Structure 1
Amino acid sequence: MRIWLQKHTVAGRLPLLDKWYEAHLNAIIAPDTTIDIHTLPEGTYDDATPFDYVGFGNLALRFNGYFAETALTAEREGYDAWIIAAGQDPGLREARTLATIPALGYTETATFVAAMQNHRFGVLGFMPKLREPITDNIHRQGLSHLLTSYQIVRDGAEAVRQALDGSFDLFLDSFGRAAEAAAEAGAQLLIPAEGIPNEIFWHLGIHELHGLPVVDPAGLAVKTAELLVGAHGLGILGRTAAGYWFRRPEPRVSDHVERVFQGHLIGRA
């Protein structure tokens, strides 16, 4: 089984984080699974992280289209499943429309599994601008009644920065206080809103805070992808082709439209 994991980062900008991701995912995949981590084009942004780019719906539309195309590329290259490893699940709906292989999202998988167990969850995030799209997604999923709170971690950005430099004291203190607030609000599970803190938790071996399990959304998405691919292969669950978003035109029509728009400059014949 081959899984394409798409990140919202550029490879090499945070070498320690890249190393943590690779160690994390290799530790959890099944023996017959290979997972390839894909990132954004080198020139997407100049900084170490895309933090300045993720707070705008205007830019998100561009990223969504790119990520959805990576799902289609994954299918054409023989991958069995595709995962978007970003908290706001960018391009997930579009990916499911373009590609037929299982497409999973970082946060959606975590919240749906929590709902399957009827567990209330608190979200811990350090990027305030992502609270709106993530909570909007939870609302559209019909799971707002299980979201007890969305905690913006105090000093979270600095805590993450220090952790990526190998100093974890502020991270443990800041996220610990946020976890305590989430527990007091009635959460039964904690979900990291962004992928970087999740990798820090995994690296430190932290799977519980203030008596609450800390969900590993990236790992859960990978294991769910394995489950879905296996279920598809056994005929337990298949991809629907009914309805507007999943009905597929004849291949020649898709190929024609794709050729028309590739490289076309708007405003020129």
Structure 2
Amino acid sequence: MKIFYQSYVDHENGATYWEHLRENLDAAKSPGTTVEIHGITPFDSYAHPLVEFRCAREMIANAIKAEREGYDAVLVGHFQDAGLYEARSVVDIPVISLGEATMLWCCQMGQRLGIVTINRRFIPWFHQQIGKYGLRERVTGVHAMHFEPGQILGAYGDAAKAQEVKALFDAQAEPLVAQGIDVVIPGGGIPMVLFSQFHNHTVGDAPVINGIPIALKMAEMAVSLKQLNGQSVSRTGDFVKAPPEVIEEFLTHPKGL
């Protein structure tokens, strides 16, 4: 099984993050599974929808290329899931995303979920995302720290900074837990991997979830089920397959004017 992992951080700016991400993936993957990490340049360094859409376009193009190069699945390692539905509408291999996979799995761990993201500008995006997945009654709170995506990268390899970020995260999670949240989700792959060093991380009695192994296991399961029953996503509604000429136009059209 060969999985294309799409990070929204490039190796040049996030080498230490990639190292820890690789450790997470290697620990979670099944025997015989290969996971290859690919980044986006320039990386997702500023919390804004415009950046999300720019990265989404590259991710969608990479999903098409991954299918043509023989990958069995694409794993979008970016919690905001920008471009997810569009990617599923252009390829026949599974496209699994960190945000959706984590939220759906956590629905089995508790009744009410909360997210702590890294920047307030992501909060509206998360509420739209939660609504798109039909989880407004399950994901009932979103709080934020005050970082740009790239700033947390400085905590990798620095134990003191990692503890500082954890303390800021926990401070935002505590009122959510006090309001009845059962499970706390870090809103991004960067904080998830950073917090993975804290074994059994909890706030109160609410577990803090690392979604990286969850998303990888879901990707492996999606590939196995497709091999077993031949089924992929529905081709009605959101995931109607784009015709070949439209896909080619998307790949070849200039990115800018």
Category of TM-score, reference length = shorter chain: 0.7 to 0.9
Whether the aligned pair in 2 keeps the contact of 1:179 and 1:210 (CA below 8 Å) is no
Separation of aligned partners in 2, 1:267 and 1:104? 28
Choose between structure 1 and 2 for higher RCO, CA contacts under 8 A separated by at least 6 residues. 2
Separation of aligned partners in 2, 1:75 and 1:182? 40
Please list, as runs of the form range in 1=range in 2, the aligned pairs for 1:177-216 lying within 5 A after superposition: 177-216=171-210
For residue 87 of structure 1, the aligned residue among 67, 79, 82 is 79
Please list, as runs of the form range in 1=range in 2, the aligned pairs for 1:3-18 lying within 5 A after superposition: 3-18=3-18
Q: Give the gaps of 5 or more residues in structure 2.
A: none
Which is greater in Rg?
1
Deviations 1:42-94 (A, max 9, x none): xx26xxxx332x413x3433322211111111111111111111121011011
The two structures have a TM-score, normalised by structure 1, of: 0.84
Separation of aligned partners in 1, 2:233 and 2:151? 44
Structure 1 residues 262, 123: CA separation in 2 closer, same or farther (over 3 Å shift)?
A: closer
Q: Give the gaps of 5 or more residues in structure 1.
A: none
CA RMSD of aligned residues (A): 2.7
Determine if the alignment matches structure 1 residue 243 to structure 2 residue 236: yes
Opposite residue 214 of structure 1, the aligned amino acid is V
Q: CA deviation at 1:154?
A: 5.8
Determine if the alignment matches structure 1 residue 137 to structure 2 residue 129: yes
SS at match of 2:81: coil
Deviations 1:3-39 (A, max 9, x none): 1110111113122211100111101100111101100
SS at match of 1:108: helix
Whether the aligned pair in 2 keeps the contact of 1:123 and 1:150 (CA below 8 Å) is yes
Please list, as runs of the form range in 1=range in 2, the aligned pairs for 1:1-269 lying within 5 A after superposition: 1-41=1-41, 44=42, 50-52=44-46, 54-56=47-49, 58-116=50-108, 119-153=111-145, 160=152, 163-164=155-156, 166=158, 167=160, 168-235=162-229, 238-240=231-233, 242-243=235-236, 245-248=238-241, 254=244, 256-259=245-248, 263-264=252-253
The two structures have a TM-score, normalised by structure 2, of: 0.88
Separation of aligned partners in 2, 1:265 and 1:160? 33
Instruction: Count residues with an aligned counterpart.
Output: 255
Deviations 1:221-243 (A, max 9, x none): 100111111111111x6114632
Structure 1 residues 5, 137: CA separation in 2 closer, same or farther (over 3 Å shift)?
A: same
Separation of aligned partners in 1, 2:13 and 2:83? 23
Deviates more, 1:112-121 or 1:148-157: 148-157
Opposite residue 101 of structure 2, the aligned amino acid is T
Structure 1 residues 262, 80: CA separation in 2 closer, same or farther (over 3 Å shift)?
A: closer
Deviations 1:186-213 (A, max 9, x none): 1111111011110111133344232111
Deviations 1:122-154 (A, max 9, x none): 101111111111210101211011122111136
Separation of aligned partners in 1, 2:13 and 2:151? 18
Deviates more, 1:63-72 or 1:154-163: 154-163
